[in-house]
Amino acid sequence: MTDAYHMDKLRYFDHEVTRAGHERFSSGYFESLEKHLGEREQMKDMPDDKHLATEPAPQQQPQPQAYAGPIVSAPPHREIPSFNGERAPLSPSQVRLSPEEVEVIRMNGWDMLKYAKSKQEHARRKRLGLDTSGQG
């Protein structure tokens, strides 16, 4: 049952019936509960089911789970975090362009990939000590 009003009503009558001395889930409990809920009068019009030898055991219905929203996960990181808070060094096959470099490249209509490759080559030559231009 998911209707809060009816659940509250059922809890109230359950309390009243058990307080009146009926053991919960006994036949007297159900009869008294049906009288309180107004079901007993409706059942008089129904055919008699005395051919049933035992009452079925009451089944507990599973509690509906509240919708908790979509499952969310963080996006994968492309960089390895460092302990000092700085960015991890790039691999030799990667180049990081500053926002200023990107702006200059776009303003001049240059090819960004060619610029990145030349910047990478310049860094490689500098590491090897082949850059004697004195710049950067």
> Could you report the per-residue pLDDT of 105-126, keeping only the tens digit for each?
999 999 988 998 888 888 888 8
19: its two tokens: 């307080």
Position 51 scores a pLDDT of: 46
Lowest mean pLDDT among 37-46, 103-112, 123-132: 37-46
Confidence of residue 73 (pLDDT cuts 50, 70, 90): confident
Q: What's the whole-model pTM score?
A: 0.33
Distances (CA, A) of 79 to 76, 82, 89, 111: 9, 9, 9, 25
**Torsion sign (Cα): 123, 129, 131, 134:** positive
Higher pLDDT, 3 or 55: 3
